[in-house]
Structure 1
Amino acid sequence: MFLVCGEALFDLFPENTTATSTVKFDGRAGGSPFNVAVGLARLNVPTAILTGISSDMLGEKLAAALVEEGVSTKYLVRSGRRTTLSLVGLNQSGSATYAFYGIGSADCGVKYKHLPEIKDEPAGYHFGSYTTVIKPVAKAFIKLARNKKNKFISYDPNVRLTIEPDIAVWRKSVHDFSGCADVIKISSEDFELLHPNELPEAKAQEWFDQGVKLIILTNGSRQVSAWSRSGLKVNVKPPKTTVIDTVGAGDTFQAAMLKCLLELENPKEDLNDLNEQFLSSVLNYAATAAALTCTRRGADLPRLTELDAIMGDI
């Protein structure tokens, strides 16, 4: 089983209306790590999630959604804190902006002492998004990552300045988690926010020196690039698609990429000896999955049967 660590929330999409005194929303369960966990489960990867879930009405819905998707809930940390809400806005190209309402929420209030005992050691761990910067949960997760450094670990910063506006806090988090991670997946937008005056290749070498083995840089509908510590560089062009919105696209890429890497006999060690053909196939698979998510509203990640059907036609 693979363990995803991070937030769970509800995305609220405003519905179009001409009324000025009322607003209607379409609520969807989400949060980057929540989406990754669901995405992995939909790709038939046994998955659990470690997150704080409220005992309020929305928290009960989140827990039920996880069960429905086949994600193990044995590592949920339940509390009376409220559920985080994310107000999602879309521009004309379908790109999303977020406004978060989650101060003192269940997913951010988890402390290390609250973490459940992990009895059956997972095949690996994924960390990412705002629960890696908001205290106290960020302190709990970096301590967990350091304690599990001998296991396969992936990381995606998924920067959200509307939650933590101080980019220095995000940089510190990236530095800390890159000292534990085997794989870093980062968007070009996040990279430019974190390191506006640096080239990805130069930063990649710094991360390699910290122990990272594989770095993947996504860039929307443009090229996906990957660098390995063993010296590989691979570029892949994502398939063209009609974009409804981009919500969950990065999480879809993450889940599909992890599915491929977890099929290696020993992901942590085998990342030291990747070949170009395998890495290209991983990027193509993940980019195709992300493109499929972009054709639907919200973070509606693909199932294995859907993705297999598309890959069979390529």
Structure 2
Amino acid sequence: MDLETDPHVLAIGEALVDIVSPASNPSAATEIPGGSPANVAMTLGRLGRNVALQTWIGRDPRGDVITKHFGDSHVFITPESCGADRTPTALATLDENGAASYTFDLEWAPASPIRVADTARVVHAGSIATVIEPGGPAVLDALVAARQHAIITYDPNARPAIMGSPEESLATVNKFVAVSDVVKVSDEDIAWLTGGRPVEDVLRDWLTMGPAIVIVTRGKTGALAHTVSGVRRAAVPADVEVVDTVGAGDSFMGGIIDALWSLGLVGAMSRSALHAIEDDQVRAILDRASAISDITVSRAGANPPWLSELAGMR
């Protein structure tokens, strides 16, 4: 892929090595490349989309593992990504239900300004890289500049262990919501960020800030989408046996972007159409993202499906 000539998705944010430790057997820890924006990029690469990742990793063995892991899923990691002193890690401890909690060793200091090629039609950011210094403000600046040629997608994907207080984090999250066209958030994120405000109240407030669509994932209850055009649509949850939830929200976010691309709702020229989105289009987005996430939770780790695995689903 040539970033200067090929329309593509650019994901901006952390890539790291997840050290996954089952609660029942901590000595059985395994090291797996991850990171929320990186997993979004991996989902899109496996679905056949042109996708690049702007991240911050070291030129070390773990950095090499990340480069190969995401490269094998057709993610192009930008040359500017390899300037960290060491590659970040996250200790992911799984409980008896397969849910993960994280402890981070992370540096996020990408070169500023972050370069975004004019051929990017979607620019995605989220999670840790948007809220920690010194890189967070550079990510926000990159999204503001990219609005001239791309739609902006955003997932707060809160990590309380590293993000500081909910109040401080919400103030930063709101800045990113205001420059985004599509926001995806989990109900757990909303509860932590807002002290338990009703989900629909938060969605209504965020829609007044600028996004065309806000989608909240609610675990086994299914996703809920609200749009500035007045659509209110809930996804019908599938009956899926959950192995673990690692990467589930990221694959859902990747599915949203994949569906937007299929619908032609990418690039700055589509912003007005996105703000006028109709119910059948919202349903198609939720169905696509849900099908992708359902496969991810049905197997261990952040392992989103390849395009061939989606034939005939939803």
Q: Structure 1 length normalisation: TM-score? A: 0.91
Tell me the equivalent position of 2:40.
Answer: 36
Q: Residue 111 of structure 1 contacts residue 136 of structure 1 at CA under 8 Å; is this kept in 2?
A: no
Counterpart contact for 1:178–1:212, Cα < 8 Å? yes
Amino acid of the structure 1 residue aligned with 2:122: G
Q: Which moved more, 1:161-170 or 1:9-18?
A: 9-18
**Which runs of 4 or more aligned residues in structure 1 lie more than 4 Å from their structure 2 counterparts after TM superposition?**
15-18
Q: Determine which of 73, 82, 97 is the counterpart of 1:78.
A: 82
Distance 1:5 1:168, change over 3 A: same
CA–CA distance in structure 2, aligned partners of residues 280 and 17 of structure 1: 39
Conservation of the 8 A alpha-carbon contact between 1:238 and 1:291: no
Structure 1 residue aligned with 2:31: 27
Residue 3 of structure 2 corresponds to which residue in structure 1?
none
Is the counterpart of residue 4 in structure 1 residue 11 in structure 2? yes
Evaluate the alpha carbon distance shift between residue 219 and residue 17 of structure 1 in structure 2; reply closer, same or farther with a 3 A threshold.
closer
Q: Which runs of 5+ in 1 are unaligned?
A: none
How many Å separate the matches in 2 of 1:154 and 1:263? 16
Q: Distance in 2 between matches of 1:15 and 1:236?
A: 31
SS of alignment partner, residue 197 of structure 2: coil
| Residue pair 1:214, 1:226 contacting (<8 A) in 2 also | yes
* Residue matched to 2:5: none
Aligned to 2:4: none
Partner in structure 2 of residue 235 of structure 1: 234
2:283 aligned with 1:283: no
Q: Aligned pair 1:178/2:177, yes or no?
A: yes
Report if the CA contact (8 A) 1:249-1:290 is conserved: yes
Shift in alpha-carbon separation, 1:306–1:74, aligned structure 2, 3 A: same
Q: TM-score, normalised by structure 2?
A: 0.91
Partner of 1:146: 144
Superposed counterparts of 1:5-154, under 5 Å = 5-14=12-21, 23-102=27-106, 105=107, 108-113=108-113, 115=114, 117-150=115-148, 151-154=150-153
Instruction: Name the SS for the 2:17 alignment partner.
Output: strand
Q: Return the offset for 1:171.
A: 0.6
2:260 corresponds to 1:261: yes
User: Contact conserved, 1:111 with 1:139, CA < 8 A, in 2?
Assistant: no
Structure 2 distance, partners of 1:131, 1:35, is: 14
C-alpha change, 1:245 and 1:169, in structure 2 (3 Å) is same
Match of 1:300 in 2: 303
Q: CA offset at residue 16 of structure 1?
A: 7.7
Equivalent AA in structure 1 for residue 9 of structure 2? F
Task: Number of aligned residue pairs: give it.
Answer: 302
Q: Kindly, what percent of the aligned residue pairs are identical?
A: 29
Does structure 2 retain, via aligned residues, the 8 Å contact 1:131–1:137?
yes
Classify 1:199/1:14 alpha carbon distance in 2 versus 1 (closer, same or farther; 3 Å).
Answer: closer
What is the one-letter code of the residue matched to 2:272?
E
* Aligned-partner Cα distance in 2 for 1:92–1:227: 33
Paired with 2:308 and 2:102, the residues of 1 have a C-alpha distance of 31
Change (3 A) 1:235 1:15: closer
Q: CA deviation at 1:208?
A: 2.0
1:15, 1:26 within 8 Å by CA — same for their partners in 2? no
1:97 counterpart SS class: strand
Deviations 1:213-265 (A, max 9, x none): 00001001112110000101001122111111000000110001110012233
**How many angstroms does 1:270 deviate by?**
2.0
The Cα of 1:153 is off from its aligned counterpart by 0.3
| Equivalent residues of 2:246, 2:297 under 8 A apart | yes
RMSD (Å) for aligned C-alpha atoms:
1.8
Asked whether the 8 Å contact 1:53–1:78 carries over to 2, the reply is: yes
Moved more, 132-141 or 203-212: 203-212
For 1:134, give the aligned amino acid: I
